[in-house]
């Protein structure tokens, strides 16, 4: 061994699956032809706009996302069209200001959304535009929080100024500074280099999603842009009572507590909002003795500590140092303050993102707890074996309204329910709880066939003002003359039940289904009957088991039939677990699953 570093050969490295990387990217991406026909959209884009590939690919962008007819003043469509045309014609990326662009929902309503868009042309080897990549981050929650803060300030509760208007607005200001400067001296050339580097820094900071990632970028880009030898950031602790000093050592971030009354420049900038400039540590020792001792230990001669602010609120400080003495003229100070302003805005943005993630996680936990408290263990009537499963989606923001239920009616029939409330939020979970209990009460009170029970639920839903759309299958297992059991069911727009006969033959019970609940309570509902024999298994499920981003519903149902045939004969508990593992391994959506088996003949 000669001590030289090892390097793997290119053919030993994995080949990147760029299609999968595109689909799994956390940022929402939309791929368009130069004439704005949709080619593809990744999962984040589909979830942000409540659309599917089947409904959008091949259609014109503005046919899928038209102007909201209820808002005649809306200019999002015109602005986006102009920006995409500019990116296509100039062959250069175009960053748009924040846009208000409402999105149509599957139920025909519209939801107000605010976006931060960027359009990038994709060129072929000849430099011609073949595709347009559109990224548009949903910042609606931030805009609403900002507006609420402004209203609170007017009431005298909180004094909060505007946090930020546009992430790249200062980049244009810096470019104007750069054009105005005459590169005639060493100091002017230094300022021009700093401005050019700062424009790059602004773009880099926009990619940060976490505080740790942002700090890495601040140190890497900041030192490069300003030609600095050292850098550190001070941020207030989460309780607002202390300070946390962070610096990087190679690829590691090192943090330490800093007293709020510390005389060090970075603490003064973070607590008092002061700007502290040390041009030469040796000459400034009488005025800053503590800082000079620290500077000597770091091998630094000059230092600048600036407060980090956003919307007038003090967030912390940004400190940079140089190995040689340095004079700070007006241009230098303006560049440093512009850099600090960008850092402050980036800190505020990432802080909000992390707070939103914490809120989403808390919402998910609450809704999950609600669902699990309601989804109780099923009864086990003589001659029947029932197994149930509920598995939440992996994403915190994807909490849904899926549920199952199984109970006995006064007449002795075993009632089975699987349903899905539209939506993926805590409202959907709350409506699910309300409807689940309401359906239980109606079924127990009426002890009627499934169609009559669903009709009563539909009328009650309208009378109580519950406007959410719901799909459901309600089934009863009844015992007829001679001990023959029958399955009687009614389907309200839900995926069809599955029966697996005792010999392992599967069949989807694809009978004509009725309208979803919540559409027309006066519409007559139908029901169907099927004889059940010893060893037969009935499976009810929600769409999360069979619907996937990269396949159609028909494909999912075909996979379910094949899996059920292969797993036939397993105990119902094992059957449920195996179906979940095979059909929905990615945990992309909530799944409720119920399996009932007629006991085999002795």
What would the two tokens of residue 68 be?
């909201």
Least confident of 97-111, 173-187, 311-325, 466-480: 173-187
Kindly state the average pLDDT of the residues 88-117: 90
Residue 33's pLDDT is 93
List, for residues 529-580, the tens digit of each pLDDT value: 999 999 999 999 999 999 988 889 999 999 999 999 999 989 999 999 999 9
User: Which long-range contacts (C-beta less than 8 Å, at least 24 apart) are formed by 193-198?
Assistant: 193/227, 194/225, 194/226, 194/227, 194/332, 194/335, 194/339, 195/335, 197/221, 197/224, 197/225, 197/226, 198/174, 198/225, 198/226, 198/335, 198/338, 198/339, 198/342
List, for residues 240-262, the tens digit of each pLDDT value: 778 888 887 666 777 788 888 88
Kindly state the average pLDDT of the residues 58-67: 91
List, for residues 287-340, the tens digit of each pLDDT value: 666 666 666 656 678 888 889 888 778 888 888 888 888 888 888 888 888 878
Residue indicated by tokens 């406007």: 467
161 contacts 333 by C-beta, under 8 angstroms = no
Residue 577's pLDDT is 96
Q: Kindly indicate the confidence band of residue 451, based on its pLDDT and cuts at 50, 70 and 90.
A: very high
Residue 143's pLDDT is 85
Express as a percent the part of the chain with pLDDT over 90.
38
Residue 185's pLDDT is 47
With both helix axes pointing from N to C terminus, report the angle between 450-463 and 426-446 in degrees, rounded to the nearest 10.
130
Q: Kindly indicate the confidence band of residue 89, based on its pLDDT and cuts at 50, 70 and 90.
A: very high
Residues 6+ apart with CB under 8 A from 238: none
Work out the mean pLDDT of the chain and round it to a whole number. Answer: 83
Strand partners, 508: 498
Element (H, E) at 211: helix 211-226
Q: Kindly indicate the confidence band of residue 366, based on its pLDDT and cuts at 50, 70 and 90.
A: low
Q: Kindly indicate the confidence band of residue 458, based on its pLDDT and cuts at 50, 70 and 90.
A: very high
Q: Reading across the β-sheet that carries 528-532, which strands appear in turn?
A: 401-408, 414-421, 470-479, 485-492, 528-532
Q: Spell out the domains of the chain, with CATH numbers in brackets.
A: 16-138 (3.30.450.20), 169-355 (3.30.450.40), 375-598 (3.60.40.10)
List, for residues 375-428, the tens digit of each pLDDT value: 688 999 999 999 999 988 765 544 568 899 999 999 999 999 999 998 766 777
Q: Kindly indicate the confidence band of residue 222, based on its pLDDT and cuts at 50, 70 and 90.
A: confident
Strands (E), 286-332: 302-310, 313-322
Residue indicated by tokens 């090192």: 254
Residue 10's pLDDT is 65
Q: Which sign, positive or negative, has the C-alpha torsion 420, 425, 427, 433?
A: positive
400 contacts 420 by C-beta, under 8 angstroms = yes
CB atoms within 10 A of CB 493: 17
Q: What is the largest CA-CA distance in the chain?
A: 105
Which of 17-21, 62-66, 475-479 has the highest average model confidence (pLDDT)? 475-479
Q: What is the DSSP letter of 96?
A: P
pTM score, two decimals? 0.47
Q: Which residue has the higher pLDDT, 147 or 48?
A: 48
Kindly state the average pLDDT of the residues 122-150: 87
Residue 499's pLDDT is 97
- Residue 163 pLDDT exceeds 70: no
Residue 233's pLDDT is 87
Least confident of 105-109, 195-199, 489-493: 195-199
């Amino acid at each position: 061994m000669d001590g030289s570093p090892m390097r793997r050969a290119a053919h030993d490295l994995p080949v990147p699956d760029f299609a999968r990387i595109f689909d799994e990217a956390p940022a929402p991406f939309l791929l368009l032809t130069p004439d704005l026909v949709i080619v593809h959209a990744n999962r984040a884009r589909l979830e942000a706009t409540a659309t599917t590939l089947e409904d959008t690919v091949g259609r014109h962008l503005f046919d899928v996302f038209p102007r909201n007819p209820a808002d005649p003043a809306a200019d999002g469509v015109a602005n986006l069209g102009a920006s995409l045309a500019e990116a296509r014609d100039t062959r250069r990326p175009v960053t748009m200001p924040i846009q208000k662009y409402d999105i149509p929902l599957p139920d025909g309503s519209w939801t107000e959304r605010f976006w931060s868009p960027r359009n990038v042309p994709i060129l072929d080897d000849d430099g011609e535009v073949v595709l347009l990549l559109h990224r548009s981050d949903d910042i609606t929650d931030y805009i609403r929080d900002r507006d609420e803060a402004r209203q609170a300030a007017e009431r005298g509760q909180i004094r909060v100024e505007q946090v930020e208007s546009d992430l790249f607005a200062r980049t244009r200001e810096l470019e104007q500074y750069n054009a105005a400067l005459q590169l005639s001296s060493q100091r002017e050339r230094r300022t021009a280099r700093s401005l050019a580097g700062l424009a790059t820094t602004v773009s880099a900071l926009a990619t940060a999603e976490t505080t740790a990632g942002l700090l890495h970028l601040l140190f890497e880009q900041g030192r490069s842009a300003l030609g600095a030898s050292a850098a550190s950031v001070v941020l207030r602790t989460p309780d607002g009572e202390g300070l946390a000093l962070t610096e990087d050592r190679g690829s590691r971030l090192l943090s330490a507590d800093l007293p709020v009354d510390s005389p060090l420049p970075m603490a003064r900038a973070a607590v008092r909002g002061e700007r502290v400039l040390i041009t030469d540590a040796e000459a400034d020792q009488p005025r800053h003795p503590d800082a000079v001792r620290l500077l000597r230990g770091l091998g630094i001669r000059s230092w600048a500590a600036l407060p980090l602010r956003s919307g007038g609120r003090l967030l912390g400080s940004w400190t940079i140092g140089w190995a040689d003495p340095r004079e700070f003229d007006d241009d230098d100070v303006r560049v440093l303050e512009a850099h600090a302003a960008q850092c402050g805005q980036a800190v505020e943005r990432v802080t909000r993102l992390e707070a939103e993630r914490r809120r989403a996680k808390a919402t998910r936990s609450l809704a999950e707890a609600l669902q699990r408290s309601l989804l109780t263990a099923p009864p086990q009537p003589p001659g029947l074996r029932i197994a149930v499963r509920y598995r939440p989606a992996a994403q915190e923001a994807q909490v849904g309204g899926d549920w199952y239920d199984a109970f006995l009616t006064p007449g002795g029939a075993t009632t089975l329910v699987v349903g899905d409330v539209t939506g993926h939020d805590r409202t959907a979970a709350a409506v699910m709880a309300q409807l689940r209990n309401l359906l239980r009460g109606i079924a127990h009170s009426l002890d009627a066939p499934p169609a009559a029970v669903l009709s009563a639920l539909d009328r009650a839903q309208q009378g109580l003002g519950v406007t959410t759309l719901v799909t459901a299958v309600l089934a009863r297992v009844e015992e007829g003359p001679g001990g023959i059991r029958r399955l009687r069911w009614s389907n309200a727009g839900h995926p069809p039940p599955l029966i697996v006969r005792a010999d392992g033959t599967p069949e989807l019970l694809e009978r004509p289904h009725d309208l979803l609940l919540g559409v027309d309570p006066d519409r007559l509902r139908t029901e169907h009957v099927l004889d059940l024999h010893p060893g037969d298994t009935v499976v009810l499920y929600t769409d999360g088991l069979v619907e996937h981003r990269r396949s159609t519903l028909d494909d999912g149902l075909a996979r379910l039939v094949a899996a059920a045939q292969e797993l036939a004969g397993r105990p119902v508990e094992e059957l449920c677990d195996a179906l979940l593992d095979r059909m929905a391994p990615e945990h992309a959506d909530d799944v409720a699953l119920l399996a009932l088996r007629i006991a085999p003949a002795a």
